[in-house]
Amino acid sequence: MFARTVSGLDDDPGMSPQNVVTTASSPTGIPPDSHPSISRPARRMGSRAVRIGAHDRLRSELRSIAIDLLGPFASDELPSDVSTWIDAATEGAVASVCDASLSGLIDALESRRAAAPPAVLHRLDDAAARHDAGIV
């Protein structure tokens, strides 16, 4: 969630992790352009995260890593009750860290972007504008 980048969200009981519903427009439940306290780069990165499917990609990778961490096994070698437990355990573990991981990544990139030299920012903005205009 964007709770670390949005002032006041921690005080809003409707924005607690239990109450935020994931939407197609935002994997974190907060539409990227909906809150005036979210900085422009945060909205831009939030919008880009939605466009590139970052949440689903991260969730998929985390799920693969979680299964690998549980141990080497072929899916057909385990009884169905064990496979069911593995599915539930990995899904629960991934669900508990995915939003926070994506938010943390966005926060880390935003802070580095804020400290980037102006020439780097100019190049990044130009490249993004060309890409958005279909000039790649």
Closest residue by Cα to residue 102 from 60, 40, 131, 39: 60
Q: What is the dihedral of CA 78, 84, 85, 89, to 10 degrees?
A: 120
| Position 5 in a domain | no
Count other C-beta atoms under 10 Å from residue 1's C-beta. Answer: 20
Average pLDDT across each block of 10 residues of the chain; the chain has 136 residues. List them in order: 33 36 41 45 80 95 94 84 93 96 93 93 91 85
Task: Judge whether 24 lies within some domain.
Answer: no
**Per the structure, how many domains does the chain have?**
1
> Does 109 reside within a domain?
yes
* pTM of the predicted protein model: 0.62
Q: In this structure, is residue 26 part of a structural domain?
A: no
Distance CA 90, CA 92 (A): 5
Q: What is the domain range of residue 83?
A: 39-132
Instruction: Decide if 58 is inside a domain.
Output: yes
Does residue 51 form part of some domain? yes
Integer Rg of the chain from CA: 18
